[in-house]
Chain A
Amino acid sequence: MRSFQSMLNYFPEEVLEHIFDFLTSHRDRNAVSLVCKSWFAVERLSREKVFIGNCYAISPERLIARFPRVRSLTLKGKPHFADFNLVPHDWGGFVQPWIESMVKDGVNLEELRLKRMLVSDESLELLSKFFPNFKSLVLVSCDGFSTDGLAAIASNCRFLRELDLQENEVEDRRGQWLSCFPDSCTSLVSLNFACLKGEVNLAALERLVARCRNLRSLRVNHTVPLDALQRILLQAPQLVDLGTGSFVHDPETCNKLETGMPKCTSITSLSGFLEVAACCLPAVYTICSHLTSLNLSYAPGIFSKELVKLICHCNKLERLLVLDTIGDEGLGVVALTCKELQELRVFPSDPYGVGNAVVTEEGLVAISAGCRKLDSILYFCQQMTNAALIMVAKNCPNFIRFRLCTLNPTVPDAVTMQPLDEGFGAIVKSCKGLKRLSVSGLLTDLLFHYIGRYAEQLEMLSIAFAGNSDQGMLYVLNGCKKLKKLEIRDSPFGNEALLADVGKYETMRSLWMSSCEVTLGACKTLAQKMPRLNVEVINESGGDQTEASVDDKVEKMYLYRTLVGPRKDAPDFVWTL
């Protein structure tokens, strides 16, 4: 052993670095850093891509100190439940301090990927002006910026390859941000502005597409009409990923599109259809047979019949996002056609109305029977049964992500009226590689017993309106050794569960509990015992921390491990205990 050890010590750093280059996953690189001091040193100086799952777990200064050669940074801000309006808008997650710090230390930033962060126009301007090699900006579910910020990016980033805006709230300032791409800009590979509300200069867009010969991915917003899209496609037959704008137009344009489409043989990913006239859909039938990804989930205007006509051409599909307007029957067609399907998401189109657009357990079972390669599902449904879930578990043991959401959060098995414990239990028992699970429906502590017992690889769990007692949460905390994120709302878990194993939380990224039975006193106790956790209480009803009693139930609590102590940018309504 000793000679082997010495052999390793003589390994030149350059060789180590070269070997580490092959490690693309940040988890692998993290693991490698733990081996010994010299590996830690080599690794940290060679790491270019850094992933930070919680922007408050570390500070920008410490990041740069450890990884001075960082070129690509991924940051996530608000907790996941912020997506559902459970977190006040200005809770935090500002990117500004990160950018300022990187500017100050001369980081050669090339790529920035943000999720649920607050991004200001000022941040975007700094980004565009101080990182001359900046190439890629990906913003997902962010807000705080306007088209002025985008104009700065377009104007100043000379080598921009990627501008990808997904589901952001962007203030439209009516400026012509797209026209700000200079004529010299030919480097774009990916441009996605589907979430923008305002108009763009169509002529500028067409010219931009024409001169960016490497453009692979283009997703336009709803203001781009079909005729403009048709002209763009003529300029960019090399496109691989297309997001259409408004798919509504006269038959003549539809015909033009239909004749033009076959030339786009490279398109494998299709999305958009933000406003759609069903009569125009046949224009895309010719490309359907090479599609691997199809997102129709923003097209409430397409109903089951038309959806099915489209989908029955898509036999290579690996990823499908649709609305529940597809119906169980439509899902049956998917099951027959899409044998390569790996990921399916079915979103609700009309959750409060009296509409008849709905999917049930039947659709899910059909999919599981037909699509054996399925490993990721998000399914919003009217009803569910244990029998169906048991069947699904048997058909598809390869689930990595399984998220089921019943429109009524506490609905029991539609046939037996029993809790859905056995159904979800079957899923966790069968799917040994399950990493992410969201449960809903009538659920008791028994389900959590199953989860704790069988879900060995589980990293993220979302619970709502479920369980009977603290025991439920305890099963999960004690059983799921790889748990990273736990988010719970409206469930009867309280202090006993919260405080049973305080050390557990340092092995996790974060815990969210809202409308549960946890009291302020317990949160304070936890904060006191665990200095390397930030325990934050969100108190929206005003009032001071000193006025509140320790027996008061806490409406929203978010705790996360951190190396840098309480954050200094917390607004008044966030109490860090």
Chain B
Amino acid sequence: MAKYSSLGLETELTLALPGGGGGGDPSGSMETKQKKRVFFEFSGEESKVVSKNQVVGWPPVCSYRRKNSFSGEERTKMYVKVSMDGAPFLRKIDLSAHEGYSGLIMALEKLFGCYGIGEGDNNEYVPIYEDKDGDWMLVGDVPWQMFSGSCKRLRIMKRLDAKGIKLHAKDLLKGISIEA
């Protein structure tokens, strides 16, 4: 379904929060009384997982319950080894103790007593992980649940060593505010 912008042009719905943004309706006519839920309809198909992530407070589960019973994992604790370039020994971190990437990065920084883990250019270190297939992947590309389900170990790599590789996804870790 289309939404009318202030120029009277039809625009496609965007993945914005319902009620947010959107051109003001010039004439205030009843014509544009859109169903709020239209936000979810992408040409009549069932809405995708992505849109669910963007709605605050849906599904309506209280935050206490969110923190304590949401799990896509069979194991309740997910300890993985973390190595840091230059550090003489490895550490272990529990992935299930974090709700998202920002929590994980903070914990890693605390663990090794350093700052500057991330994939932005001003960070000294880049976090990468070994997945179920044995491949080394950049942390932050996939949704948190998917990551924590497939991560076997972590490595905090010096950015200098990654020079040859173009890290495209901008501000993935910074931009992620809603993890789970």
Interface residues of A, Cβ cutoff 8 Å to B: 81, 83-86, 141, 167-169, 195, 248, 274-276, 297-301, 303, 323, 347-355, 380, 405, 407-411, 438, 442, 462, 464-469, 489-492, 515-517, 553, 555
Which residues of chain B are near A492, meaning CB under 8 Å?
A: 33-36
Decide if B52 touches A466 in the complex (CB within 8 Å). no
Residue of B nearest to A410 (CB): B37
Decide if A464 touches B58 in the complex (CB within 8 Å). yes
Interface members, chain B 2-37 (any A CB < 8 Å): 18-19, 33-37
**CB within 8 A of B46: which of A85, A301, A351, A408?**
A408
18 A–B contact pairs at CB < 8 A? A84-B57, A84-B58, A84-B61, A85-B63, A274-B68, A298-B69, A300-B73, A352-B145, A353-B72, A354-B72, A407-B52, A408-B47, A467-B35, A492-B34, A515-B36, A516-B19, A516-B36, A555-B19
With A169-B64, A297-B65, A409-B40 already in contact, the answer to whether A515 and B19 are too (CB < 8 A) is yes
With A323-B69, A407-B59, A410-B37 already in contact, the answer to whether A553 and B19 are too (CB < 8 A) is yes
Which residues of chain B are near A380, meaning CB under 8 Å?
A: 59, 61
B32-74: contact bitstring with A at CB < 8 Å (1 yes, 0 no)?
Answer: 0111110011000011010011011111111111001111111
Residue of B nearest to A443 (CB): B37
CA distance A353 to B149 in the complex (A): 10
B143 within 8 A of A: yes
B176 within 8 A of A: no
Interchain nearest-CB distance for A163 vs B (Å): 18
Decide if B36 touches A355 in the complex (CB within 8 Å). no
Q: Count chain B CB atoms within 10 A of each CB in A141, A301, A553 and give the residue with the most.
A: A301
Interchain nearest-CB distance for B69 vs A (Å): 5
CA distance A577 to B90 in the complex (A): 58
CA distance A537 to B40 in the complex (A): 27
Which residues of chain A are near B106, meaning CB under 8 Å?
A: none
> What 10 pairs between A and B have smallest CB-CB spacing?
A84-B57, A300-B71, A465-B37, A410-B37, A515-B19, A83-B62, A167-B64, A353-B72, A490-B36, A353-B145
Decide if A468 touches B47 in the complex (CB within 8 Å). no
Interchain nearest-CB distance for A520 vs B (Å): 14
**CB within 8 A of A347: which of B37, B65, B75?**
B65
Decide if A348 touches B61 in the complex (CB within 8 Å). yes
Which residues of chain A are near B65, meaning CB under 8 Å?
A: 167, 297-298, 347
CA distance A469 to B36 in the complex (A): 10
With A84-B57, A348-B61, A353-B146 already in contact, the answer to whether A466 and B37 are too (CB < 8 A) is yes
Which residues of chain A are near B46, meaning CB under 8 Å?
A: 408, 411
CA distance A224 to B59 in the complex (A): 31
Chain B: residues with Cβ within 8 Å of the partner, total of: 39
Interchain nearest-CB distance for A25 vs B (Å): 27
B169 within 8 A of A: no
Decide if B18 touches A515 in the complex (CB within 8 Å). yes
Which secondary structure characterizes the binding site on chain B?
Answer: loop
**CB within 8 A of B59: which of A298, A300, A351, A410?**
A351
With A300-B76, A323-B69 already in contact, the answer to whether A490 and B37 are too (CB < 8 A) is yes
With A275-B76, A349-B70, A410-B47 already in contact, the answer to whether A86 and B40 are too (CB < 8 A) is no
Decide if A297 touches B58 in the complex (CB within 8 Å). no
B114 within 8 A of A: no
**CB within 8 A of B69: which of A349, A355, A405?**
A349
Interchain nearest-CB distance for A154 vs B (Å): 22
**CB within 8 A of B74: which of A141, A301, A516?**
A301
Decide if A195 touches B19 in the complex (CB within 8 Å). no
Residue of A nearest to B58 (CB): A409
B180 within 8 A of A: yes
Which residues of chain A are near B60, meaning CB under 8 Å?
A: 83-84, 405, 438, 462, 464
Which residues of chain A are near B58, meaning CB under 8 Å?
A: 84, 409, 464
Interchain nearest-CB distance for B95 vs A (Å): 14
Interchain nearest-CB distance for A171 vs B (Å): 14
Interchain nearest-CB distance for A371 vs B (Å): 23
**CB within 8 A of A490: which of B19, B61, B69, B77?**
B19
B126-153: contact bitstring with A at CB < 8 Å (1 yes, 0 no)?
Answer: 0000000000000000010110000000
CA distance A546 to B75 in the complex (A): 54
Decide if B56 touches A86 in the complex (CB within 8 Å). yes
Which residues of chain A are near B19, meaning CB under 8 Å?
A: 490, 515-516, 553, 555
Decide if B47 touches A517 in the complex (CB within 8 Å). no
CA distance A117 to B44 in the complex (A): 42
Decide if B69 touches A299 in the complex (CB within 8 Å). yes
B87-102: contact bitstring with A at CB < 8 Å (1 yes, 0 no)?
Answer: 0000000000000000
Decide if B61 touches A352 in the complex (CB within 8 Å). no
Which residues of chain B are near A299, meaning CB under 8 Å?
A: 69
Which residues of chain A are near B52, meaning CB under 8 Å?
A: 351-352, 407-408
**CB within 8 A of B55: which of A195, A276, A409?**
A409
Residue of A nearest to B49 (CB): A352
Decide if B35 touches A408 in the complex (CB within 8 Å). no
Which residues of chain A are near B70, meaning CB under 8 Å?
A: 300, 348-351
Which residues of chain B are near A347, meaning CB under 8 Å?
A: 61, 65, 69
Which residues of chain A are near B62, meaning CB under 8 Å?
A: 83-84, 141, 167
Which residues of chain A are near B63, meaning CB under 8 Å?
A: 83-85, 169
Given contacts A352-B52, A555-B19, 20 further A-B contacts (CB under 8 A): A83-B63, A84-B61, A195-B64, A274-B68, A297-B69, A300-B76, A301-B71, A347-B69, A349-B71, A350-B145, A352-B143, A407-B59, A408-B40, A408-B52, A409-B37, A410-B37, A489-B57, A490-B18, A490-B19, A492-B34
Residue of A nearest to B50 (CB): A352
With A352-B49, A466-B37 already in contact, the answer to whether A300 and B69 are too (CB < 8 A) is yes
Residue of B nearest to A276 (CB): B76
Which residues of chain B are near A405, meaning CB under 8 Å?
A: 59-60
CA distance A354 to B68 in the complex (A): 19
CA distance A349 to B76 in the complex (A): 13
CA distance A298 to B56 in the complex (A): 22
Which residues of chain B are near A276, meaning CB under 8 Å?
A: 76
Which residues of chain A are near B47, meaning CB under 8 Å?
A: 408, 410-411
Interchain nearest-CB distance for B59 vs A (Å): 5
Interchain nearest-CB distance for A522 vs B (Å): 13
With A407-B52, A468-B35, A491-B36 already in contact, the answer to whether A355 and B72 are too (CB < 8 A) is yes
Interchain nearest-CB distance for B37 vs A (Å): 4
CA distance A352 to B179 in the complex (A): 10
CA distance A297 to B71 in the complex (A): 12
CA distance A380 to B19 in the complex (A): 25
Decide if B180 touches A352 in the complex (CB within 8 Å). yes
Which residues of chain B are near A350, meaning CB under 8 Å?
A: 70-72, 145
Which residues of chain A are near B49, meaning CB under 8 Å?
A: 352, 354
